[in-house]
Amino acid sequence: MKDTKFLTNRLFKNNETILSNIKNPDVFNLDYVPDEIYIRKELETIADYIVKYVLTGIPNNLIVYGNKGSGKTTSILNLLNALKDEDKLDYIYLNALDNPTSYKLFEAIAGKTGRGYALNDTIQWAKEKLTGRYVVVIDEADVLKDNKILYYLSRETRVNIILLTQKLFWFNSLEESIKSSLQPIHINFKAYEVDEIKTILNMRAKEGLNKYEEGGINLMSAVIYRDYNSDVRVGIRALYLLGQYTEWNDENTNKALEQAYKEVEYSVIRNLKDTEIIILKALMKEPNTNKAYTITENYMNEILGYSIKKRQYFNIIHDLNNLGLFNIVRKREGRYYTLEVQMLMPDNKLIQNELKNRFNING
């Protein structure tokens, strides 16, 4: 077949049929913040503290803990959007993965990114933006390489700070001066129960699909709870995939969940730097971080033509740990302790596929 017009017309026709059940594809984007959400008890608590801040101007700084897919970000942004629409406050959402230093965060607040301004000037411009009732949300806060911004915002402004993290004991690692300045309220978003997952997926299906089956959502909710650590992101993405099937049977439901999981997790893998993906390859072969350094050196010299110092290597391991790709545990070997990683990704093929795509090598 040489006629590309015929090809594209056929593909348009086929996909229009396949996608005819998708009412609103935006609903299944993981960054989408719906107008209506499932309101957890934890969100009611947060809302109460924010309303008190709006009324009094006295900040109630918050640290919100929860695993991936537990609804932290979506819940809080929905709440803040509602209050902003009513002119009760303004806010800014920042992700420390994109802005890992205080300087980068001040730049983002000031709206003057990537221009090389002096830190003091950037702080001053940021401060001019933080007027009235203002909330600063920092997601993945445990990734921050320094904490100057936390000290400054809590000491020099009247903004309400909300920090989001997966690390339950991250606050304990902060300097005493920052702990004293923040004086945060700690709130834990527990993993969703099956009925909660079911409620959320029903809400998304109602908004995003023309038709759906309760039985498929019931099965999906149970499997997400059992096999995917209650990560509702997997379910939301699976709804989009399952919505393209004519039958919502067990086989298609499980296929959609498996594909959705790969898409959700692969988005993290795809954004890793070359050195990070090579270190993951080494750690898959040897979980002992000291021994894996030698393997990393060999891989990097073979693949990239250069290596990195041991200090940089351990800094990268720290960053990868913060992404939730693995846990680090201490193990005793004789008189000494070593650090070993325990991979949290049940499907290492995602890493292997990325290695093949980038470097044309097998994992």
CATH of the domain at 163: 3.40.50.300
Residues 137 and 198 both lie in one domain: no
Amino acid, single-letter form, for residue 196: E
pLDDT of residue 271: 82
Is the same domain home to 48 and 172? yes
Residues 172 and 246 in one domain: no
Cα separations in angstroms, 277 against 68, 81, 106, 115, 356: 21, 36, 29, 30, 11
In this structure, the answer to whether residues 173 and 66 fall within a common structural domain is yes
In a domain, 181, yes or no: yes
Cα–Cα dist 282/309, whole Å: 15
87: left (phi over 0), alpha (psi -120 to 50) or beta: left
Residue 96: count other Cβ atoms within 10 Å of its Cβ: 22
Structurally, the chain folds into a number of domains equal to 3
Q: Are 142 and 174 in contact (CB under 8 A)?
A: no
Distance CA(353)–CA(243), nearest Å, equals 27
- Check whether residue 86 and residue 211 sit in a common domain: no
The pLDDT assigned to 263 comes to 87
Does 122 share its domain with 234? no
For CA atoms 66, 233, 146, 127, the dihedral sign is: negative
Amino acid found at 135 = V
Looking at the structure, tell me whether residues 161 and 284 fall in a common domain: no
Q: Is the dihedral of CA 118, 130, 84, 196 positive or negative?
A: positive
User: Is residue 30 included in any domain, yes or no?
Assistant: no
327: in domain? yes
Q: In what order do the strands lie in the sheet with 185-189?
A: 90-95, 134-139, 160-165, 62-66, 185-189
In terms of domains, do 222 and 162 share one?
Answer: no
Closest CA to 74 of 27, 129, 25: 27
Please tell me the distance from the alpha carbon of residue 143 to that of residue 268, in angstroms, as a whole number: 15
C-beta separation of 253 from 259 below 8 A = no
Same domain for 245 and 166: no
pLDDT score, position 217: 95
Q: Same domain for 149 and 280?
A: no
Tell me, what's the pLDDT at 347?
65
Range of the domain at 341: 272-359
CATH number at residue 295: 1.10.10.10
Q: Which pLDDT value is given to residue 173?
A: 87
Instruction: For residue 33, tell me if it sits in a domain.
Output: no
In-domain check, residue 338? yes
Cα-Cα-Cα-Cα dihedral sign, residues 122, 126, 142, 344: negative
| Structural contact between residues 178 and 151, judged by C-beta atoms closer than 8 angstroms | yes
- Ranges of residues in the chain with a pLDDT under 70 are 1-2, 114, 345-347, 362-363
The count of C-alpha atoms lying within 13 angstroms of the C-alpha of 232, restricted to the half-sphere facing its C-beta, is 30
Please say which residue of 232, 247, 267 terminates a domain.
267
Which of 267, 295, 312 is the last residue in one of the domains?
Answer: 267
Give the whole-angstrom CA distance, residue 146 versus residue 163: 14
Q: Is residue 262 part of a domain?
A: yes
Is 287 among the domain residues? yes
Question: Would 116 be classed as within a structural domain?
Answer: yes
Residues 106 and 196 in one domain: no
Angle at 162 between CA 157 and CA 167, to 5 degrees: 130
Query: Helix (H, G, I), strand (E, B), or coil: what is residue 342?
Result: strand
pTM of the model: 0.80
In terms of domains, do 174 and 45 share one? yes
Asked whether the beta carbons of 165 and 140 are under 8 A apart, the reply is yes
Among 267, 299, 329, the domain boundary falls at: 267
pLDDT at res. 363: 59
Residue 346, pLDDT score: 58
